[in-house]
Amino acid sequence: MSNKALVWDLVDEHKTDFCALSDRIWGMPEICYTEYRSVAEHTAMLKKQGFQVTENVADIPTAVMGEAGLGGPIIAFLGEYDALPGLSQEAGVARYSPLPGNGQGHGCGHNLLGSAAMLAASALKEWLAKTGQPGRVRYYGCPAEEGGAAKSFMARAGAFDGVDVAITWHPSAHHEVAKALSLANTRMDFFFTGRASHAAAAPHLGRSALDAVELMNVGVQYLREHVPQDSRIHYAMLDSGGIAPNVVQAKAAVRYAIRARDVESMFELNARVKRVAEGAAIMTDTQLTVSIMSAVANLLGNRPLEEAMQQNFALLGPVAFDQSDYAFADEIQSTLSAADIQNDYRRTGMKPAHPKSLSDYIIPLDTHGEPMIGSTDVADVSWVIPTVQAHVPTMAIGTPGHSWQLTAQGKMPAAHKGLAHVAKIMAATGIDVLTDKMLLAQVKKVHFEQTRATPYRCPIPAEVKPPVQPRPETL
């Protein structure tokens, strides 16, 4: 039996337990830094699997790390388990049907992400024990990817120091090595303070914080014309100053997400947005306070690692979906627009002659589609250590990210099949790094050359701490 066949058998041996873990996490959706129940489930599973567990990683109560093995290189698997607000949905139902409760849901598939990453780590741990190969494996349970940048805080705290390679994945509609494309991103809050007054009897005595927010938004709107095309600036109102129009609003706040192609470009754009806010404060005679909530870098690729992962995709082939999987994916596609589905193909650069609702092909490494670029805190890990990421289908082609349709598919058999499949690809890639000294040397050389001229600079200021949320029982 080959080394990879052995680890694949180990994945199959444990996949039922980890699909159950994924389903439990799906059923307890928790958002940014509130993932106390989810991290407890992951911690219990790490202990059950025989990992040495470190809790409260980087002083984040919902971050955990498990380690096993002796000597040799250290392979890290990155997992997540945070959900999103407003994406509650009944599982297995192809129509909008939110569940009772807080409205949160796993609309990005992180219930699957963390469970598959830990399954890969567990299989590789057992493979090390059975083969006697030197090496160590770590699983990092990382909270708050959705806007909280936990991995950025963890990287800044040195949580990944000593690791040789990081491997991760994200639920997708396609089989591919994920392209190392992402935007650096800062989430920044702007608080304006003015002076309340009677809006009719004494408007001249008031200084409107809401006017300041609106003027800032107008100024940023004009700024958007004069930034690089791959930059993005979004905003959301945090506080509009109350519901009484006859009171001049003394306080108002707005949150901005500012994205750019790299960290330095992002810092420049941050400064420009700040100047717009300062101008709005001057125009309204209000006071401005700026607070950074989180920030992430742009992804850094590693070609030797990507080639190794691509070879494992080729060895394993695509996920073996059955007719019932296709039938439900067809139902999901019936809720989507033609543009949703076409967008998915444009992103990948692929359009099979006879497309199906679930992917049954592997995208070649150098296939180029239209980039649709978001942001991720995996990027900060990729600057600290060589990192590679897989995409494996767990959803119908065309499923929008952050949608109820994605939540609906999170517990389906197709998602479970994708979970086990990607665990095999990640574990096999870990074996390649552990057993091929030349590959590891190439991986490290590429990473060194990429970061030599521009070393990692955490985009979060040193004084900013993780916005840890209290445990639910303390609320």
CA 428 to centroid of chain Cα atoms: 22
Phi-psi region of 183 (alpha: psi -120 to 50; beta: other; left: phi over 0): beta
Q: For the residues 10-31, what does the mean pLDDT come to?
A: 98
Q: What is the mean pLDDT of the chain?
A: 95
Q: With 60 as the cut, is the pLDDT of residue 475 above it?
A: no
The DSSP-derived string for 151-199 is HHHHHHTTTTTT--EEEEEEEESSBEEPPS---EEEEEEEEEE-B--BT
Confidence of residue 13 (pLDDT cuts 50, 70, 90): very high
How far is the C-alpha of 27 from the C-alpha of 25, rounded, in Å?
Answer: 5
Say how many C-beta atoms besides its own lie within 10 A of residue 203's C-beta. Answer: 11
Q: Higher model confidence: residue 353 or residue 149? A: 149
Taking only the tens place, the pLDDT of each residue in 81-92 is: 999 999 999 999
Q: For the residues 246-252, what does the mean pLDDT come to?
A: 97
The pLDDT value given to residue 329: 98
Q: For the residues 102-117, what does the mean pLDDT come to?
A: 97
Taking only the tens place, the pLDDT of each residue in 38-58 is: 999 999 999 999 999 999 999
- Residue of 310, 325, 337 lying closest to 394 (CA atoms): 325
Q: With 60 as the cut, is the pLDDT of residue 474 above it?
A: no
Percent of the chain at pLDDT > 90 equals: 92
- From residue 38, give the alpha-carbon distance in Å to each of 30, 76, 96, 123, 474: 7, 20, 25, 21, 17
Taking only the tens place, the pLDDT of each residue in 273-303 is: 999 999 999 999 999 999 999 999 999 999 9
The pLDDT value given to residue 401: 93
Q: With 50 as the cut, is the pLDDT of residue 1 above it?
A: no
Q: With 70 as the cut, is the pLDDT of residue 304 above it?
A: yes
Percent of the chain at pLDDT > 70 equals: 99
DSSP-derived pairing of the beta strands 74-80 and 165-172: parallel
The pLDDT value given to residue 2: 63
In what side-by-side order are the strands of the sheet with 251-260?
232-239, 251-260, 184-193, 287-296
Q: Answer yes or no: are the C-beta atoms of 395 and 406 closer than 8 Å.
A: yes
Q: For the residues 193-207, what does the mean pLDDT come to?
A: 96
Burial of 122 (0-12, 13-18, 19+ CB in 10 A): buried
The DSSP-derived string for 325-375 is HHHHHHHHHTTS-HHHHHHHHHHHT---SS--SS--SB--TT---------
Taking only the tens place, the pLDDT of each residue in 353-378 is: 778 999 999 999 998 887 768 899 99
Domains and CATH numbers, the chain: 1-182+299-453 (3.40.630.10), 184-296 (3.30.70.360)
Confidence of residue 471 (pLDDT cuts 50, 70, 90): confident
Q: What predicted TM-score, i.e. pTM, was given to this entire model?
A: 0.94
The pLDDT value given to residue 369: 82
Q: Answer yes or no: are the C-beta atoms of 213 and 237 closer than 8 Å.
A: yes
Q: For the residues 316-323, what does the mean pLDDT come to?
A: 98
